[in-house]
Structure 1
Amino acid sequence: METTALRELTTVDGSFASVCVDDSHDTADAEKQRELRWQATRAELADLGAPERTLAALDTAATDREPPVGEGGMFLVAAGDRVLVDEELPAPPPRAIARVSRAPFLLPLASLGTRGPRRLVVTVDSVGATITARDARGRELDTGEVRGQDHPVHKVRGAGPGHRTVQARTEETVRHNLKDVADEVVKAAGRLGAGIVVLSGEVQARRGLLDLLPEHIRERTEEVSADATAEDISEAAARHQLARLDQTAEKFRTESGRTHGLAVQGIEAVTTVLREGNAETLLVTEPGDTTVACGPEPGTVAATADELKAYGVDDPVWTLADEALPFAGVATGAALVRSDERLDLADGFGAILRHA
């Protein structure tokens, strides 16, 4: 899961209330059941010490939303009088989650990430592209166009010097147009925190655009045909997500097997690389109820209080690792991956490093 869109959380002072609850609307008395589930979760948050203004903000988010069609869930994070994260989930969580802590509990968002990340759908031709931002369910969030020069963009038949000049000019115009598209795709992906770029449109334009995209965008790009349906796009996103999970697990295993490889596991090693800002990807399996020492900044985490003394933290706050470490990952720009049986990590945590 890309964490760029969650970065605002690291600027918030105070405690967070985190909620993940069944929001299904699939029975005759669904509305009453939704209300009862929410009231039970609200009461749990109140018992945990959530302030009344935070509960009021969560009330609004939980009760004013459109119910899903069939099964669904909702994930909310609030602090003060603001709801900072409000996500619909395609399936209810196995059980309701309510936490109040100095760090938001972000693992449900990654665990239920089968909903897929946000995506950019780019429909490109030789003149420009339509770029549509969609949420994990495929619903449109925003759309815009990038249009370049439309003359000359078509090659002409012929064999003389004039033909070659026109052909070269055409190729240069198309390349310039695609460069403008590539620049906007990079900007839009950053703004959205998009985990996947789905590329549609003319075959030659798609290939040309792929060549111009930076590697970090190209590696999360999937191509579909020009006449791809919404279902085709969703299937491409799902395939990409599963493939990335396989690749991440394989990269971790490979780096773990190398001397001085770019992979570590266990609380002590992972907190160290997070503190140093050297985690490219934070991997989590089953962390249990382990706690870690935390300083005033989200990225200041350690396995022991003594480790934080070098950073001027004399009175650390002890926080559950499954809250503190993902939050530290957000603060330091690490991607968050909730792994499954693909990996067996010491203490439930591992990291792929940016550099040795």
Structure 2
Amino acid sequence: MTAIRDSEPPVGRSGRGVVAAGGRVVVDRRLADAPAAQVERVSPLPYLLPFFSHGAPSIPYLLVTVDHRGADLVTRDGEGREVATETVTGEDWPLHKVRGGGMAHRRMQADVEETRDKNLEDVAGRVAERVAAVQPGLVLLVGEVQARRALHEKLPTAVQDVTRELEAGSRAAGASQEDLEQEIRTVLAGERLKVLDELAESFRTGLGREDGLAVTGLAEVVRALAEANVDTLLIGDPGDAEVWAGRNAGEIALDRDGLTAFGVEDGRRQRADEAVPWTALVSGASVTVMDERVDLKEGIGALLRHS
């Protein structure tokens, strides 16, 4: 608790998740939404569900702020932290059309269009390179309407599929960063809902097949975890259910006898909402807190790697 008392409090209505072990803080993250009540636990395993249910949408993205001169590229990880920035600078002359008629003016206007187009081609090429390198979940385009729409069209088809245009923000001085960040949060939340819809559909389809790639209920999920066969853990509210877990990754069973059958003699009883997500993560599975989209037996289900 000392680490919490001695540090800056969360901003606004956000919350905070802290995990400590061995006398030091090992995880300290801002939560997008504050839990209804403060929760404190002392356990051999960390209680990670609040990080998934109240955390920010974990979607890394590339933010591209563009105008006809070039663009600023900012790569952010799933926590919204900047991990890389760069500026693509194109030619700066001629960039502005002038009024008038005659051949000279028409030629000048054509030169302006050519310069702008070349600059956007350069930006599109660099965006495609960054996407190939870091594979963000989304590309967010910000800036002048004409510039961002033209850039969108110049991107490779695969990049266009993950690109969204935003209304707020620009490269101009005085552009509202607060409005931009709010729109980014809205877009990410919408994408998160799409992911939940897709997972729910996959889960229902898997349950509907005799050889399906989905299971529900604590016993079935624990069995799949012990076999390292969980691709995505879906968890709602397992209540106070308990399982048995060993000290090593993958050592999990519904009861002591099940753990002993694996040759594990030093197992201990653990809360399911701690041991199950932890075991899923260390096995390389992803964890999703699922809402009422699907009916999870005992508040837990899973998409499997193989049938």
With structure 2 as the length reference, what TM-score do the two structures score?
A: 0.72
Q: 1:304 to 1:239 in 2, by over 3 A?
A: same
CA RMSD of aligned residues (A): 3.4
**Separation in 2, partners of 1:73, 1:101:** 21
Higher relative contact order, chain-length normalized (CA < 8 Å, sep 6+):
1
Cα offset, 1:104, TM superposition: 0.5
Q: Which string of whole-angstrom CA distances, capped at 9 and with x for unpartnered residues, describes residues 63-115 of structure 1?
A: 233234443322100111321111222443222211111210011112224x4
Specify the SS of the correspondent of 1:98.
coil
Secondary structure, aligned partner of 2:42: strand
Local SS of the residue matching 1:101: coil
Q: Is the 1:302–1:308 contact (alpha carbons within 8 Å) kept by the matching residues of 2?
A: yes
**1:306-321 counterparts in 2 under 5 A?**
306-321=257-272
1:281 aligns with 2:281: no
Question: Displacement of 1:210 after TM fit?
Answer: 6.0
Match of 1:122 in 2: 63
* Contact 1:148 1:180 (8 Å CA) reproduced: no
Matched, 1:99 2:41: yes
How many matched pairs?
264
Q: Which residue of 1 aligns with 2:50?
A: 108
Deviations 1:287-332 (A, max 9, x none): 0111111122233212133333453212321111100000011102
Deviation digits for residues 4-25 of structure 1, max 9, x if unmatched? xxxxxxxxxxxxxxxxxxxxxx
Q: CA deviation at 1:141?
A: 3.4
> What's the counterpart of residue 181 of structure 1?
130
Question: Partner amino acid for 1:59?
Answer: T
TM value normalised by structure 1: 0.63
Q: Distance in 1 between matches of 2:260 and 2:163?
A: 46
Decide whether aligned partners of structure 1 residues 222 and 105 sit closer, same or farther in structure 2, where only a CA change above 3 A counts: farther
**CA distance 1:208–1:86, shift in 2 (3 Å):** farther
User: How far apart are the structure 1 equivalents of 2:25 and 2:300?
Assistant: 28
Letter of the structure 2 residue corresponding to residue 131 of structure 1: V
Q: Determine helix, strand or coil for the equivalent of 1:100.
A: coil
Give the greater-gyration-radius structure (CA). Answer: 2
Distance 1:323 1:144 in 2: 37
CA distance in 2 between partners of 1:67 and 1:337 (Å)? 27
- Structure 1: give runs of 5+ residues left out of the alignment: 1-57, 151-169, 190-195
List per-residue Cα deviations over 1:166-215 (Å, max 9, x = no partner). xxxx9x988864552123322xx5xxxxxx534326446546656456xx
Structure 1 CA distance for aligned equivalents of residues 262 and 156 of structure 2: 44
Q: Is the 8 A contact 1:295 1:316 kept in 2?
A: yes
Question: Which is further off, 294-303 or 123-132?
Answer: 123-132
Matched, 1:328 2:271: no
The verdict on how the C-alpha distance between 1:321 and 1:129 changes in structure 2, with shifts beyond 3 A counting, is same
AA aligned opposite 1:300: E
Decide whether the 8 Å contact of 1:178 with 1:208 is kept in 2: no
Q: Determine the C-alpha separation between the residues in 2 that align with 1:304 and 1:257.
A: 28
Measured in 2, the distance between the counterparts of 1:210 and 1:79 equals: 47
Identity rate, percent: 34
Counterpart among 71, 74, 90 of residue 131 in structure 1: 74
Matches of 2:231 and 2:87, distance apart in 1: 31
Q: Secondary structure at the match of 1:282?
A: strand
Q: Which amino acid aligns with 2:263?
A: G
